[in-house]
Structure 1
Amino acid sequence: MGEATPPLPMPRHVAIIMDGNGRWAKSHGLPRFEGHRRGAEAVRRVVADARDLGIEALTLYSFSSENWSRPKQEIGELMGLLKRFIRSDLKDLHAKNVRLRIIGEGHPTDPEVQGLLDEAQALTRANTGVTLTVAFNYGARNEMARAAQALARQVAAGELRAEDITPARFAEALDTAGLPPLDLMIRTSGEQRLSNFLLWQAAYAELVFLPVFWPDFDRSWLERALGEYGRRERRFGGVEAGES
């Protein structure tokens, strides 16, 4: 008998740009909100699948800082969906040992949303299973600017020397401090751009773009992305011995 094929490498940290809710709804002759509602169901599936597959950290792009330019009715519907998701799913996530983290600037106008997000993080803080990080009111350029400002304040206060600001020290000032390095970035809907998501963290991540709208994303699509990741050779800017 031949030797068994070794298992493909598994990423520790996977991030997903959940794109295509509106186009999914349009393709089915449904209102945009129905696309967002079905997208929330896909979130439930992917969290469960990530936990089952042994992924250590899952980061989801739920609402960007640029999304505030959308129609007020759609924003209100999205906020209502977020509230319902937390109220209905928080106990289940906690029971399954999922740790919930929120990155971004928080909610600037709705204290109820901010209170629910804070409650969810506090309840699950000690959990040791998959870390589910939700990027809410998040933009990567803003994140890096806030990190730079925080470090500049430390320098101004004499707590830090400018020459001590290394890439590692800068990463510690980002919202994602404490998470494993980002290994795999997935974007659904067929679009092929990062849209201001985890720009620093994605420096050496593998990028996989899938031709599926987010509401239709399921375990088979996740496994397809994981398989693509496992087949790639990650060099982090280096070369193999003997290569020029």
Structure 2
Amino acid sequence: MNPLNHVAIIMDGNGRWGLKYKNSRNKGHKEGLKTVEKIIQITINNKIKYLTLFAFSTENWKRPKSEINYLFNLLETFLKKKIDEFNKKNIKLKIIGEKKFPKNIKDILKKSENLTKKNSALQINLALDYGSKKEILNAIKYISKNKLKISENNISNSLYTKKIPDPEVLIRTGNTNRLSNFLLWQISYSEIFFSKKLWPEFNQKDFIRIIKKFK
């Protein structure tokens, strides 16, 4: 049986689901948070140690300002509501990405990371303002600045995900079969599963089915 320590997910389809069923992209984003909570619980139940969620890409800054503001407010509200629960469940939260956010978002993200930094049951890596090409470029700049040898090991240790094992499984929902600049270095040997379901429709059974298929 193949060991499964790390699952990465591109949570695609919130906006399309919202437009289809609620005539609002924002309502799709809100509904998608319910799926996040379900997937976190299944991850814990299956003793998977790392879960990386692609929440906001560097390209997402091109979206309408009103939608971006709604996403930030949704994130802030979610963390304020859930971070104590995460702490009680021994969940560690780590943010990967550029972190070019308004001060209130930076503050809640920093507070959440600090509060949960010693937890060990599950580490959730939340990819925010994240782009894999920028991540790799920053790693190479760091190596050059510090006059290190350019090697696979040094690049891996200079990424946002240093000290985090590469994912064995990558899941993308939303019926789109591409990687969208996500963990390009880290998923070189990952099994990739594409789901036709939009993220709010993706459920526990879908996740468990993929886990079993991998194992």
Shorter-normalised TM-score: what interval? over 0.9
Equivalent in the alignment of 2:164 = 179
Q: 1:120 aligns to what? A: 112
The reply on whether 1:51 has 2:44 as its aligned counterpart is: yes
2:203 paired with 1:218: yes
Question: CA separation in 2, counterparts of 1:52 and 1:213?
Answer: 23
Task: Report the alpha carbon displacement of residue 9 of structure 1 after superposing the two structures with TM.
Answer: 2.8
% of aligned pairs identical? Answer: 35
After TM superposition, list the pairs within 5 Å mapping 1:121-136 onto structure 2.
Answer: 121-136=113-128
CA apart distance, 1:208: 0.3
Q: Which protein has the larger Cα radius of gyration, Structure 1 or Structure 2? A: 1
Secondary structure class of the residue paired with 1:60: strand
Distance, in Å, in 1 between the alignment partners of 2:140 and 2:151 is 12
Higher deviation after alignment, 45-54 or 221-230? 221-230
* Deviation of 1:10 (Å): 4.0
Query: How much is the aligned-residue C-alpha RMSD, in angstroms?
Result: 1.0
Q: 1:14·1:58 contact (CA, 8 Å) conserved in 2? A: yes
Aligned partner of 2:33 among 10, 23, 40: 40
Q: Do the aligned residues in 2 keep the contact of 1:58 with 1:131 (CA within 8 Å)?
A: yes
Q: Which runs of 5+ in 1 are unaligned?
A: 1-7, 231-244
Amino acid at match of 2:171: I
Task: Give the equivalent residue in structure 2 for 1:207.
Answer: 192
1:165-190 Cα offsets, whole Å, 9 max, x none, are: 22011100000011112110000011
Unaligned runs of 5+ in 2: none
Give the number of equivalent residue pairs. 215
Residue in 2 that maps onto 1:71? 64
After TM superposition, give the deviation of residue 17 of structure 1 in Å. Answer: 0.1
Q: Distance in 2 between matches of 1:107 and 1:144?
A: 17
Q: Do 2:22 and 2:28's aligned partners in 1 also have CA atoms closer than 8 Å?
A: no
| TM-score (normalised: structure 1) | 0.86
SS in 2 for 1:55: coil
Shift of 1:26: 2.1
Contact kept in structure 2, 1:20 and 1:188, CA below 8 Å: yes
Which stretches of structure 1, 4 residues or longer, exceed 3 Å deviation after superposition?
none
Aligned 8 A contact 1:107 1:113 in 2: no
**Residues in 2 aligned to 1:132 and 1:191: alpha-carbon distance in whole angstroms:** 24
Q: Deviations over 1:189-222 (max 9, x none)?
A: 1111000000000111110001111011221011
